[in-house]
Amino acid sequence: MRLSGWGRYPSVEASLLAPKDAGSAARILQNSEGPRMIPRGAGRSYGDSALATRVLSSRYLNHLIAIDQNALTIRAGAGATLGEILRICVPQGLFLPVLSGTKYVSLGGAIAADIHGKNHHVDGSFCDYVNRFTLLLPSGETAVCSHTENIELFRATCGGMGLTGVILDATISLRKVPSAFIDVLSIPAANLKDSLALLRQYNEKQYVVAWVDCLATDTALGRGVIHIGSHSETGKLTFKQKRKISVPFTTPGFLLNRYTMSGFNHLYYARHRLKRSVKSMYFDDFFFPLDSINGWNRLYGAAGFLQYQFVLPDHSAESGLRETLDTLSRAGKGSFLAVLKRFGPANTNLLSFPSKGVTLTLDFKYEPDLLPLLDILDEIVLKAGGRHYLAKDARMSAAVFRQGYPQWHQFKAIKDQIDPTGILGSLQSERLGLTKPGMRSSE
Protein backbone atom coordinates (compact mmCIF):
# COMPACT_ATOMS: atom_id res chain seq x y z
CA MET A 1 0.00 0.00 0.00
CA ARG A 2 1.02 3.62 -0.52
CA LEU A 3 1.92 5.39 2.73
CA SER A 4 2.97 8.90 3.63
CA GLY A 5 3.18 11.10 6.69
CA TRP A 6 0.54 13.73 7.40
CA GLY A 7 2.23 16.13 4.97
CA ARG A 8 1.67 13.61 2.14
CA TYR A 9 5.27 14.18 1.05
CA PRO A 10 7.11 11.94 0.45
CA SER A 11 5.22 8.68 -0.03
CA VAL A 12 6.43 5.10 -0.34
CA GLU A 13 5.05 1.71 -1.30
CA ALA A 14 5.09 -0.27 1.95
CA SER A 15 3.92 -3.48 3.55
CA LEU A 16 1.85 -2.69 6.65
CA LEU A 17 2.15 -5.14 9.55
CA ALA A 18 -0.36 -4.71 12.38
CA PRO A 19 0.30 -7.14 15.26
CA LYS A 20 -2.68 -7.78 17.51
CA ASP A 21 -0.61 -7.92 20.70
CA ALA A 22 2.91 -7.74 22.13
CA GLY A 23 3.60 -11.41 21.43
CA SER A 24 2.73 -11.02 17.76
CA ALA A 25 4.97 -7.96 17.52
CA ALA A 26 7.86 -9.86 19.12
CA ARG A 27 7.49 -12.73 16.66
CA ILE A 28 7.59 -10.30 13.73
CA LEU A 29 10.89 -8.90 14.96
CA GLN A 30 12.40 -12.28 15.87
CA ASN A 31 11.51 -13.77 12.48
CA SER A 32 12.32 -10.61 10.56
CA GLU A 33 13.75 -11.11 7.10
CA GLY A 34 13.93 -8.61 4.30
CA PRO A 35 14.17 -4.83 4.32
CA ARG A 36 14.16 -2.66 7.43
CA MET A 37 10.95 -1.76 9.20
CA ILE A 38 9.84 1.16 11.36
CA PRO A 39 7.11 1.41 14.04
CA ARG A 40 4.19 3.67 13.11
CA GLY A 41 1.47 5.06 15.35
CA ALA A 42 -1.38 7.21 14.05
CA GLY A 43 0.63 8.54 11.09
CA ARG A 44 0.68 12.16 12.29
CA SER A 45 4.39 12.87 11.93
CA TYR A 46 4.65 15.07 8.87
CA GLY A 47 7.58 13.74 6.87
CA ASP A 48 9.31 10.38 6.45
CA SER A 49 10.20 9.42 10.04
CA ALA A 50 7.56 6.64 10.06
CA LEU A 51 8.08 5.49 6.47
CA ALA A 52 9.97 2.39 5.33
CA THR A 53 9.49 -0.55 3.01
CA ARG A 54 7.84 -2.32 5.94
CA VAL A 55 5.86 -0.55 8.65
CA LEU A 56 4.91 -2.03 12.03
CA SER A 57 1.63 -0.45 13.10
CA SER A 58 0.57 -0.05 16.74
CA ARG A 59 -3.11 0.38 15.86
CA TYR A 60 -4.17 -2.70 17.85
CA LEU A 61 -1.97 -1.90 20.85
CA ASN A 62 -4.47 0.75 21.95
CA HIS A 63 -5.88 -0.74 25.15
CA LEU A 64 -6.32 1.15 28.40
CA ILE A 65 -4.60 -0.78 31.16
CA ALA A 66 -5.16 1.23 34.34
CA ILE A 67 -5.88 4.70 35.69
CA ASP A 68 -4.76 5.59 39.21
CA GLN A 69 -6.66 8.51 40.72
CA ASN A 70 -4.42 8.63 43.79
CA ALA A 71 -1.09 8.56 41.96
CA LEU A 72 -2.52 10.66 39.10
CA THR A 73 -1.24 8.30 36.41
CA ILE A 74 -2.63 6.40 33.47
CA ARG A 75 -1.18 3.33 31.79
CA ALA A 76 -2.19 2.61 28.22
CA GLY A 77 -1.08 0.80 25.11
CA ALA A 78 1.17 2.66 22.71
CA GLY A 79 -1.51 2.77 20.01
CA ALA A 80 -3.97 4.73 22.15
CA THR A 81 -4.28 8.33 20.99
CA LEU A 82 -4.11 11.41 23.17
CA GLY A 83 -7.75 12.03 22.30
CA GLU A 84 -8.78 8.61 23.57
CA ILE A 85 -6.88 9.24 26.80
CA LEU A 86 -8.52 12.66 27.23
CA ARG A 87 -11.96 11.15 26.62
CA ILE A 88 -11.42 8.99 29.70
CA CYS A 89 -9.57 11.52 31.86
CA VAL A 90 -11.37 14.84 31.37
CA PRO A 91 -14.72 13.76 32.93
CA GLN A 92 -12.69 12.70 36.00
CA GLY A 93 -11.04 16.11 36.30
CA LEU A 94 -7.71 14.87 34.94
CA PHE A 95 -5.65 16.20 32.05
CA LEU A 96 -2.48 15.45 30.12
CA PRO A 97 0.36 17.80 31.12
CA VAL A 98 1.60 18.27 27.53
CA LEU A 99 -0.43 18.25 24.32
CA SER A 100 0.65 18.60 20.70
CA GLY A 101 -1.38 20.47 18.09
CA THR A 102 -3.50 17.40 17.33
CA LYS A 103 -5.15 14.88 19.64
CA TYR A 104 -4.77 12.13 17.04
CA VAL A 105 -1.14 11.46 17.99
CA SER A 106 -0.58 7.98 19.45
CA LEU A 107 0.95 7.57 22.90
CA GLY A 108 3.92 5.73 21.39
CA GLY A 109 4.34 8.46 18.79
CA ALA A 110 4.20 11.17 21.47
CA ILE A 111 7.12 9.48 23.23
CA ALA A 112 9.07 8.73 20.05
CA ALA A 113 8.88 12.42 19.04
CA ASP A 114 8.96 13.75 22.63
CA ILE A 115 6.22 16.14 21.62
CA HIS A 116 5.85 19.63 23.06
CA GLY A 117 2.95 22.01 23.39
CA LYS A 118 2.01 25.58 24.14
CA ASN A 119 3.49 25.26 27.64
CA HIS A 120 7.04 24.02 27.16
CA HIS A 121 8.40 27.25 28.63
CA VAL A 122 6.94 26.27 32.03
CA ASP A 123 6.20 22.54 31.85
CA GLY A 124 8.73 20.95 29.51
CA SER A 125 7.97 18.22 26.97
CA PHE A 126 5.86 15.06 26.96
CA CYS A 127 8.58 12.65 28.07
CA ASP A 128 9.18 14.68 31.23
CA TYR A 129 5.86 13.16 32.39
CA VAL A 130 6.49 9.59 31.24
CA ASN A 131 7.04 7.47 34.33
CA ARG A 132 7.99 4.33 32.45
CA PHE A 133 7.34 2.42 29.25
CA THR A 134 7.77 -1.13 28.00
CA LEU A 135 10.02 -1.31 24.95
CA LEU A 136 10.12 -4.25 22.58
CA LEU A 137 13.74 -4.39 21.44
CA PRO A 138 14.78 -5.44 17.91
CA SER A 139 15.83 -8.80 19.39
CA GLY A 140 12.23 -9.49 20.45
CA GLU A 141 13.08 -9.07 24.14
CA THR A 142 11.37 -6.44 26.28
CA ALA A 143 12.86 -3.81 28.57
CA VAL A 144 11.17 -1.54 31.09
CA CYS A 145 12.59 1.96 30.71
CA SER A 146 12.25 4.92 33.05
CA HIS A 147 14.23 7.73 34.64
CA THR A 148 15.78 5.10 36.95
CA GLU A 149 15.65 1.85 34.89
CA ASN A 150 17.55 1.39 31.61
CA ILE A 151 18.19 5.10 31.71
CA GLU A 152 20.29 5.36 28.55
CA LEU A 153 17.69 3.42 26.59
CA PHE A 154 15.02 5.73 27.99
CA ARG A 155 16.98 8.81 26.87
CA ALA A 156 17.52 7.33 23.40
CA THR A 157 13.91 6.23 22.90
CA CYS A 158 12.34 9.53 24.02
CA GLY A 159 12.69 11.58 20.86
CA GLY A 160 14.35 8.67 19.04
CA MET A 161 11.69 8.43 16.30
CA GLY A 162 11.04 4.70 16.76
CA LEU A 163 14.59 3.59 15.97
CA THR A 164 15.33 1.82 19.28
CA GLY A 165 12.33 -0.51 19.39
CA VAL A 166 8.55 -0.77 19.53
CA ILE A 167 6.93 0.96 22.50
CA LEU A 168 4.22 -1.40 23.78
CA ASP A 169 2.69 0.59 26.65
CA ALA A 170 3.50 3.51 28.91
CA THR A 171 2.57 4.99 32.27
CA ILE A 172 2.29 8.77 32.26
CA SER A 173 1.50 11.40 34.88
CA LEU A 174 -1.71 13.41 34.83
CA ARG A 175 -2.72 16.69 36.46
CA LYS A 176 -5.97 17.80 38.00
CA VAL A 177 -8.05 20.48 36.28
CA PRO A 178 -11.21 22.26 37.51
CA SER A 179 -13.05 22.24 34.17
CA ALA A 180 -12.78 21.33 30.51
CA PHE A 181 -12.45 24.98 29.48
CA ILE A 182 -9.52 27.33 28.88
CA ASP A 183 -9.63 31.08 29.57
CA VAL A 184 -7.86 32.76 26.66
CA LEU A 185 -6.52 36.30 26.39
CA SER A 186 -5.65 37.40 22.82
CA ILE A 187 -3.35 40.38 22.22
CA PRO A 188 -2.35 41.88 18.84
CA ALA A 189 1.34 42.50 18.15
CA ALA A 190 2.34 45.09 15.56
CA ASN A 191 5.59 43.43 14.47
CA LEU A 192 8.19 40.82 15.37
CA LYS A 193 9.74 42.89 18.16
CA ASP A 194 6.32 43.30 19.78
CA SER A 195 5.52 39.59 19.33
CA LEU A 196 8.74 38.55 21.07
CA ALA A 197 8.28 41.14 23.81
CA LEU A 198 4.78 39.82 24.55
CA LEU A 199 6.04 36.23 24.64
CA ARG A 200 8.64 37.28 27.20
CA GLN A 201 6.14 39.36 29.19
CA TYR A 202 3.75 36.42 29.57
CA ASN A 203 6.45 33.76 29.94
CA GLU A 204 5.18 32.76 33.40
CA LYS A 205 1.69 31.98 32.09
CA GLN A 206 0.91 28.34 31.42
CA TYR A 207 -0.10 28.30 27.75
CA VAL A 208 1.35 30.93 25.40
CA VAL A 209 1.40 30.81 21.60
CA ALA A 210 1.59 33.39 18.83
CA TRP A 211 0.15 33.34 15.33
CA VAL A 212 2.45 35.19 12.92
CA ASP A 213 1.66 36.81 9.57
CA CYS A 214 4.74 35.65 7.67
CA LEU A 215 3.80 37.65 4.56
CA ALA A 216 3.79 41.02 6.33
CA THR A 217 6.68 43.27 5.33
CA ASP A 218 8.59 46.39 6.35
CA THR A 219 7.51 47.78 9.73
CA ALA A 220 4.82 45.09 10.04
CA LEU A 221 7.25 42.19 9.56
CA GLY A 222 6.41 39.47 12.07
CA ARG A 223 3.14 41.00 13.23
CA GLY A 224 0.79 38.57 14.93
CA VAL A 225 -1.61 37.71 17.70
CA ILE A 226 -0.50 36.29 21.06
CA HIS A 227 -2.88 33.85 22.77
CA ILE A 228 -2.43 33.28 26.53
CA GLY A 229 -4.41 30.45 28.09
CA SER A 230 -5.05 28.98 31.53
CA HIS A 231 -7.41 26.31 32.86
CA SER A 232 -10.72 27.91 33.71
CA GLU A 233 -12.18 27.65 37.20
CA THR A 234 -15.69 27.57 35.71
CA GLY A 235 -17.34 25.15 33.31
CA LYS A 236 -18.23 21.49 33.33
CA LEU A 237 -15.91 18.51 33.18
CA THR A 238 -17.30 17.05 29.99
CA PHE A 239 -15.79 15.50 26.89
CA LYS A 240 -17.61 16.70 23.79
CA GLN A 241 -17.61 14.80 20.55
CA LYS A 242 -17.19 17.70 18.19
CA ARG A 243 -18.93 17.83 14.82
CA LYS A 244 -16.38 18.11 12.03
CA ILE A 245 -16.09 19.72 8.64
CA SER A 246 -14.58 17.43 6.02
CA VAL A 247 -12.32 18.07 3.05
CA PRO A 248 -13.68 15.24 0.85
CA PHE A 249 -11.10 15.53 -1.92
CA THR A 250 -7.67 16.94 -2.63
CA THR A 251 -8.02 20.57 -3.69
CA PRO A 252 -5.98 22.05 -6.56
CA GLY A 253 -2.67 23.29 -5.24
CA PHE A 254 -2.95 26.65 -7.00
CA LEU A 255 -5.77 27.67 -4.65
CA LEU A 256 -3.23 28.08 -1.87
CA ASN A 257 -1.00 30.94 -3.00
CA ARG A 258 0.49 34.14 -1.60
CA TYR A 259 -2.67 36.09 -2.49
CA THR A 260 -5.16 33.78 -0.79
CA MET A 261 -2.83 33.42 2.22
CA SER A 262 -2.27 37.17 2.37
CA GLY A 263 -6.02 37.70 2.38
CA PHE A 264 -6.51 35.19 5.19
CA ASN A 265 -3.69 36.72 7.22
CA HIS A 266 -5.09 40.22 6.78
CA LEU A 267 -8.55 39.15 7.94
CA TYR A 268 -7.21 37.19 10.92
CA TYR A 269 -5.04 40.07 12.09
CA ALA A 270 -7.81 42.63 11.53
CA ARG A 271 -10.13 40.54 13.68
CA HIS A 272 -7.80 41.00 16.68
CA ARG A 273 -6.10 44.28 15.78
CA LEU A 274 -8.28 46.78 17.62
CA LYS A 275 -8.29 45.42 21.16
CA ARG A 276 -7.36 42.69 23.56
CA SER A 277 -10.05 40.07 23.97
CA VAL A 278 -10.80 37.46 26.61
CA LYS A 279 -12.97 34.42 26.11
CA SER A 280 -13.57 30.96 27.48
CA MET A 281 -12.90 28.12 25.04
CA TYR A 282 -13.52 24.41 25.20
CA PHE A 283 -10.07 22.81 25.51
CA ASP A 284 -10.44 21.02 22.18
CA ASP A 285 -10.84 24.32 20.33
CA PHE A 286 -7.81 25.86 22.04
CA PHE A 287 -5.36 22.97 21.73
CA PHE A 288 -6.52 21.30 18.50
CA PRO A 289 -8.17 23.87 16.19
CA LEU A 290 -7.40 21.95 13.00
CA ASP A 291 -8.78 18.66 14.31
CA SER A 292 -12.26 20.02 13.55
CA ILE A 293 -11.46 19.72 9.83
CA ASN A 294 -11.22 16.13 8.59
CA GLY A 295 -8.47 15.74 6.02
CA TRP A 296 -7.22 19.32 6.20
CA ASN A 297 -3.90 18.14 4.76
CA ARG A 298 -5.68 17.80 1.38
CA LEU A 299 -5.95 21.58 1.14
CA TYR A 300 -2.33 21.79 -0.04
CA GLY A 301 -2.90 19.89 -3.26
CA ALA A 302 -1.90 16.49 -4.59
CA ALA A 303 1.84 17.11 -4.19
CA GLY A 304 1.45 17.52 -0.42
CA PHE A 305 3.17 19.96 1.91
CA LEU A 306 6.18 20.24 4.19
CA GLN A 307 6.24 21.47 7.75
CA TYR A 308 9.36 23.28 8.84
CA GLN A 309 9.99 23.89 12.53
CA PHE A 310 13.15 25.16 14.16
CA VAL A 311 14.27 26.62 17.48
CA LEU A 312 16.74 29.47 17.99
CA PRO A 313 18.49 30.42 21.25
CA ASP A 314 17.37 33.67 22.85
CA HIS A 315 20.48 35.65 21.98
CA SER A 316 20.01 35.13 18.22
CA ALA A 317 16.24 34.61 18.04
CA GLU A 318 15.16 38.05 16.87
CA SER A 319 17.82 38.44 14.19
CA GLY A 320 17.39 34.86 12.97
CA LEU A 321 13.60 35.11 12.83
CA ARG A 322 13.80 38.47 11.08
CA GLU A 323 16.11 37.06 8.43
CA THR A 324 13.86 34.00 8.02
CA LEU A 325 10.66 36.02 7.63
CA ASP A 326 12.32 38.52 5.31
CA THR A 327 13.61 35.65 3.12
CA LEU A 328 10.14 34.10 2.94
CA SER A 329 8.44 37.40 2.20
CA ARG A 330 10.85 38.19 -0.64
CA ALA A 331 10.40 34.67 -2.04
CA GLY A 332 6.62 34.97 -1.86
CA LYS A 333 6.43 31.68 0.04
CA GLY A 334 3.91 32.42 2.72
CA SER A 335 2.99 29.86 5.33
CA PHE A 336 -0.70 29.26 5.93
CA LEU A 337 0.09 28.27 9.50
CA ALA A 338 2.91 30.15 11.20
CA VAL A 339 3.24 29.59 14.95
CA LEU A 340 5.72 31.20 17.34
CA LYS A 341 6.37 29.91 20.88
CA ARG A 342 8.98 30.03 23.64
CA PHE A 343 10.77 26.95 24.90
CA GLY A 344 12.22 26.32 28.33
CA PRO A 345 15.47 24.42 28.99
CA ALA A 346 16.22 21.21 27.10
CA ASN A 347 15.92 17.84 28.82
CA THR A 348 18.59 15.14 28.76
CA ASN A 349 17.08 12.99 25.98
CA LEU A 350 19.55 12.54 23.15
CA LEU A 351 17.39 13.59 20.18
CA SER A 352 14.61 15.63 21.84
CA PHE A 353 14.01 18.82 19.90
CA PRO A 354 13.12 21.62 22.38
CA SER A 355 15.87 23.79 23.82
CA LYS A 356 15.71 27.16 25.54
CA GLY A 357 14.75 29.87 23.09
CA VAL A 358 12.08 30.63 20.50
CA THR A 359 10.56 28.19 18.00
CA LEU A 360 8.80 28.97 14.73
CA THR A 361 6.64 26.48 12.81
CA LEU A 362 5.88 27.01 9.13
CA ASP A 363 4.18 24.99 6.42
CA PHE A 364 4.60 25.15 2.66
CA LYS A 365 2.83 23.36 -0.16
CA TYR A 366 5.32 21.30 -2.14
CA GLU A 367 6.62 23.02 -5.27
CA PRO A 368 9.82 22.34 -7.25
CA ASP A 369 11.45 25.57 -6.06
CA LEU A 370 10.63 24.98 -2.37
CA LEU A 371 13.52 22.68 -1.44
CA PRO A 372 16.29 25.14 -2.45
CA LEU A 373 14.55 27.82 -0.38
CA LEU A 374 14.47 25.51 2.66
CA ASP A 375 18.19 24.90 2.19
CA ILE A 376 18.68 28.66 2.54
CA LEU A 377 16.56 28.65 5.70
CA ASP A 378 18.70 25.81 7.06
CA GLU A 379 21.76 28.03 6.74
CA ILE A 380 20.02 30.82 8.64
CA VAL A 381 18.98 28.43 11.42
CA LEU A 382 22.43 26.88 11.83
CA LYS A 383 24.16 30.26 11.71
CA ALA A 384 21.93 31.35 14.60
CA GLY A 385 22.74 28.18 16.59
CA GLY A 386 19.39 26.48 16.08
CA ARG A 387 18.07 23.07 15.08
CA HIS A 388 15.09 21.41 13.39
CA TYR A 389 12.29 19.16 14.66
CA LEU A 390 12.60 15.57 13.42
CA ALA A 391 8.85 14.89 13.60
CA LYS A 392 8.26 17.68 11.06
CA ASP A 393 11.27 16.95 8.83
CA ALA A 394 11.12 15.48 5.33
CA ARG A 395 14.32 16.69 3.65
CA MET A 396 17.02 17.82 6.10
CA SER A 397 20.57 16.71 5.24
CA ALA A 398 22.77 14.60 7.52
CA ALA A 399 25.17 17.53 7.90
CA VAL A 400 22.42 19.88 9.07
CA PHE A 401 21.08 17.24 11.46
CA ARG A 402 24.48 16.55 13.03
CA GLN A 403 25.21 20.22 13.58
CA GLY A 404 21.87 20.71 15.32
CA TYR A 405 22.02 17.52 17.41
CA PRO A 406 25.53 17.16 18.87
CA GLN A 407 24.54 14.02 20.81
CA TRP A 408 23.66 12.14 17.62
CA HIS A 409 26.75 9.93 17.88
CA GLN A 410 25.72 8.80 21.39
CA PHE A 411 22.31 7.90 20.05
CA LYS A 412 23.79 5.98 17.13
CA ALA A 413 26.09 4.03 19.46
CA ILE A 414 23.09 2.85 21.51
CA LYS A 415 21.12 2.12 18.35
CA ASP A 416 23.94 0.03 16.88
CA GLN A 417 24.38 -1.88 20.15
CA ILE A 418 20.75 -2.96 20.52
CA ASP A 419 20.11 -3.40 16.78
CA PRO A 420 23.38 -4.69 15.31
CA THR A 421 21.78 -6.11 12.15
CA GLY A 422 19.72 -3.00 11.48
CA ILE A 423 16.19 -4.38 11.76
CA LEU A 424 14.72 -0.93 12.45
CA GLY A 425 15.15 2.03 10.15
CA SER A 426 13.19 4.64 8.23
CA LEU A 427 13.59 6.82 5.17
CA GLN A 428 14.52 9.61 7.55
CA SER A 429 17.12 7.61 9.48
CA GLU A 430 18.83 6.63 6.23
CA ARG A 431 18.83 10.22 5.00
CA LEU A 432 20.26 11.48 8.29
CA GLY A 433 22.95 8.79 8.45
CA LEU A 434 21.58 7.04 11.54
CA THR A 435 21.12 3.82 9.57
CA LYS A 436 22.76 2.66 6.37
CA PRO A 437 20.72 2.95 3.17
CA GLY A 438 19.36 -0.15 1.49
CA MET A 439 19.08 -3.63 2.95
CA ARG A 440 20.04 -4.73 6.45
CA SER A 441 23.65 -5.58 7.18
CA SER A 442 22.85 -9.27 7.73
CA GLU A 443 21.53 -9.75 4.22
What is the dotted CATH code of the domain comprising 64-176? 3.30.465.10
Q: Give exposure, 261-280, as e/b (b: 16+ Cβ within 10 Å).
A: beeebeeebeebeeeeeeee
Within a 10 A sphere around the Cβ of 441, how many other Cβ atoms?
Answer: 13
Q: Three-state SS for 250?
A: coil
Helix axes 314-331, 370-383, angle to 10 degrees: 160
Q: Is the Cα dihedral 293, 295, 296, 301 positive or negative?
A: negative
What CA–CA distances, in Å, run from 74 to 45, 78, 171, 306? 24, 12, 6, 34
CA–CA separation, 99 and 83 (whole Å): 10
Q: State residue 443's pLDDT score.
A: 40
Strands (E), 313-389: 339-343, 357-365, 387-388
Per-domain boundaries in the chain: 2-57+403-430, 64-176, 181-395
CA–CA separation, 385 and 387 (whole Å): 7
Q: Is the Cα dihedral 183, 109, 23, 172 positive or negative?
A: negative
Residue type, 167: I
Give per-residue pLDDT as tens, 108-146: 999 999 999 999 999 999 999 999 999 999 999 999 999
Q: State residue 137's pLDDT score.
A: 97
Q: Is the pLDDT of residue 31 over 70?
A: yes
Q: 106: exposed, middle or buried (C-beta count within 10 Å: 0-12, 13-18, 19+)?
A: buried
DSSP tag of 252: P
Q: Three-state SS for 243?
A: coil
CA–CA separation, 18 and 42 (whole Å): 12
Q: Considering the chain, what is the average pLDDT of its residues?
A: 91
Q: Is the pLDDT of residue 259 over 50?
A: no
Helix or strand run (H / E) with residue 319: helix 314-331
CA–CA separation, 436 and 433 (whole Å): 6
Query: What residues does 143 pair with on adjacent strands?
Result: 135
For Cα atoms 73, 79, 80, give the angle at the middle one, nearest 5 degrees: 45
Residue type, 290: L
Of 130-139, 207-216, 280-289, 328-337, the least confident: 328-337
Q: Is the Cα dihedral 214, 215, 217, 220 positive or negative?
A: negative
Average pLDDT over residues 339-350: 98
Rounded CA Rg of the chain? 21
Task: Choose from 212-221, 253-262, 383-392, 428-437 the range with maximum mean pLDDT.
Answer: 383-392
Predicted structure pTM score: 0.94
Phi and psi based region of residue 414 (left: phi greater than 0; alpha: psi -120 to 50; beta: remaining): alpha
Average pLDDT over residues 98-105: 97
Residue type, 257: N
Give per-residue pLDDT as tens, 383-410: 999 999 999 999 999 999 999 999 999 9
Superfamily of domain 181-395: FAD-linked oxidases, C-terminal domain (3.40.462.10)
Helix or strand run (H / E) with residue 212: strand 207-212
For 417, residues 6+ apart whose C-beta sits below 8 A from its C-beta are none
